[in-house]
Amino acid sequence: MVKGSSEILYKNGFTVRAPEIFSIDEVYGTAWDQITIHGRFFGTSKGKIYLEYNDNGTSKRKVCTVLSWKMDPVSGDSEIVFVVPPMLPEFCNVVVDPYGAIPETEWVRVH
């Protein structure tokens, strides 16, 4: 900015969009299955995927290996391919963490 000039403010000129999941290609899986998530606005950098489940009233998460993480920077169309970790049969929520922002203390690492 040039000294003495005023700034230009364009109100509501930009919106940061939250990630959206449209579909998950499998609703059942076993250890080592590859699962694909389709959606929008996952980001161009690889984030993390977790399977979240209830263990005697406590919510736990297992990190999944991410094989690919793609997003078209123009349309926002996104695709993630991850591997189901070895675990006991559970009903799980899929957690997409595009920025790797969930603290490690809040999930269970698969060894």
Q: 76 is written with which tokens?
A: 């926002």
What is 67-101 written as a DSSP string? Answer: EEEEE-TTT-EEEEEEEPPS--S---EEEEETT--
Residue 65, strand partner residues: 83
Residue 62, strand partner residues: 51, 108
End-to-end CA distance of the chain: 52
Give the model's pLDDT for residue 1: 52
Q: What is the residue extent of each domain of the chain?
A: 20-106
Give the model's pLDDT for residue 77: 94
Tell how far CA 90 is from the center of its chain: 20
Residue pLDDT, tens place only, 86-108: 987 778 888 888 877 666 545 44
The pLDDT-based confidence of 17 (bands split at 50, 70, 90) is confident
Q: Are 33 and 51 in contact (CB under 8 A)?
A: no
Residue pLDDT, tens place only, 40-85: 988 888 999 999 888 888 888 899 999 999 999 899 999 999 999 9
Whole-structure pTM value: 0.75
Query: Which architecture does CATH list for 20-106?
Result: Sandwich (2.60)
